[in-house]
Amino acid sequence: MTTLYNFCSQSKCSDGACPYAGLLQGADGNFYGTTGLGGTAELGTVFKITPSGTLTILHSFDGTDGYYADGPLVQSTGGNFYGTTEFGGIYSSGNAFKITPSGTLTTLYNFCSQSNCPDGRAR
């Protein structure tokens, strides 16, 4: 086994912490994933890591765009990545998002947008 990267090695865990979900190998050969904590607002990150261990933070969640992204990412045939957050967003119940390989995040849906949350919400 080879360790590619030790998270929370930067001040205040700005590089992310608690990478609960597995890694996804992207079409470009790099690995992509999420952390549930850490980042600039300490609410989690989306990251890219090369096979040699160079980490790039693509996005740090700030709460308005969700937080605690503890699930895996999937990559579309168009090259973008998709994932979910458990909390945050407009209704504080998580969201679904798209992120480009260069780090542009778009919220696709905010959960619990309907009365009594039939569309889902955080635990």
For 78-94, write each residue's pLDDT tens digit.
Answer: 999 999 999 999 999 99
What pTM does this model have?
0.92
- SS3 sequence, 74-122? EECCCCCEEEEECECCCCCCCEEEEECCCCCEEEEEECCCCCCCCCCCC
Beta bridge partners of 55: 49
Position 102 scores a pLDDT of: 95
Domain ranges of the chain: 11-110
Q: With DSSP H G I counted as helix, E B as strand and the rest as coil, what are the percentages for the chain, rounded to 5?
A: 0, 35, 65
Residue 53 has pLDDT above 90, yes or no: yes
User: Across the chain, what does the average pLDDT equal?
Assistant: 94
Residue 7: closest CA among 33, 25, 27: 33
Tokens of 47: 């990251």
Residue 25: closest CA among 48, 44, 41, 42: 48
pLDDT tier at 115 (50, 70, 90 boundaries)?
confident
